[in-house]
Copies of this chain bind each other. A is one copy, B any other.
């Protein structure tokens, strides 16, 4: 019963097998290999347009590289106040961009509030030399609270962003989990809704260490190869990263793994909905569940060996506190049942 993070899970067997498969013989290094070439073609097909693909090994690297491609040092990145790039990456976007500023915005369910975005842009007028200049908007899909932006929500934000010539980034560390919920093609969920560049995550959903910066607008891609190398993120034996991503896409493995994780989260949510002393913070749409439980229940869960993080939320008190539960491709229905039983007492 480990619900600390989808990062705590291991590697999907299909992906581990792919590593062995590409190991034979020598290969060109630094991404000039056949596997990476195939992968780029594959992503272009998946997204129904020519895309530039930069595989890396962490979501932080993908996000920081992508945002740095959009934002000059005197620029600003508009983001939700809970955004991983702002809260959990120890200033990586600041480092990669040469010191740009992240502007945290409020919004229910971890989604950027359009009015808050407008207000923040107004407060940083274009061309006024005293203020950092908004250059990018970043949206997390699925969000830090396990919710999912609908295409119309994205379009509304993109429209505001476009009026000020901002480019739009999607942090897709859990993109598969969002897509498994939305009835949309990858293209519809991204560039057709106005996304210019994305971090396409795989690690949290069964890869060993594999993410990719996907660039929908080729003009943005020019410097990325240099930025990646300079940041130490161009792997010499790149074929082993690309092979993970290739295997991840094969036979819709990524969507199947995500659908399973999402189903496990729904099973948890359903259980809590039926539990008198449990309150879901938000209806889960991906693989994360935020629930307020009585502290006695939390103590019982910990004693029973369950692992998870406390997640302080407004409304918590001495009697009841919020915890975060993250399911993964490895989560088992029996684990969910056992957890719910313990929580119910």
Contacts and interface: CB of A to CB of B under 8 A. Distances in A.
Interface in A18-75: 19-20, 22-30, 56-62, 64-65, 72-74
Nearest to A98: B98
A306 to B, nearest CB: 12
A228 B26 CA distance: 30
Given A74-B226, A101-B102, A92 B8 contact: no
A10 B27 contact: yes
A242 interface: no
Contact of A10 (B25, B87, B130, B233): B25
B230 A131 contact: no
A78 interface: no
B235 A232 contact: no
A231 B58 CA distance: 10
Contacts of A91: 73-74, 99-101, 132, 230
A2 B25 CA distance: 9
A287 to B, nearest CB: 14
B28 A8 contact: yes
Assembly of this chain: how many copies? 4
A203 interface: yes
Contact of A19 (B19, B96, B307): B19
Contacts of A203: 236-237
Contact of A73 (B22, B95, B131, B233): B95
A16 interface: yes
A110 to B, nearest CB: 16
A96 B74 CA distance: 12
Interface string A65-109: 100000011100000000000011111101111111110000000
A11 B92 contact: no
A330 B164 CA distance: 40
A330 to B, nearest CB: 7
B5 A229 contact: no
A5 B232 CA distance: 18
B230 A89 contact: yes
A255 B225 CA distance: 34
Contacts of A22: 10
Contacts of A92: 229-232
Interface string A97-137: 11111100000000000000000000000000111110000
A256 to B, nearest CB: 19
A99 B21 CA distance: 40
14 contacts: A7-B30, A7-B237, A10-B27, A19-B208, A58-B234, A89-B130, A90-B229, A97-B99, A129-B225, A129-B226, A204-B236, A209-B209, A209-B235, A209-B236
Interface of A: 2, 4-5, 7-11, 16, 19-20, 22-30, 56-62, 64-65, 72-74, 87-92, 94-102, 129-133, 203-204, 208-209, 223, 225-237, 240-241, 307, 330
Given A95-B99, A209-B235, 10 more contacts: A8-B27, A10-B24, A19-B19, A19-B208, A61-B233, A91-B99, A91-B132, A99-B99, A133-B226, A209-B241
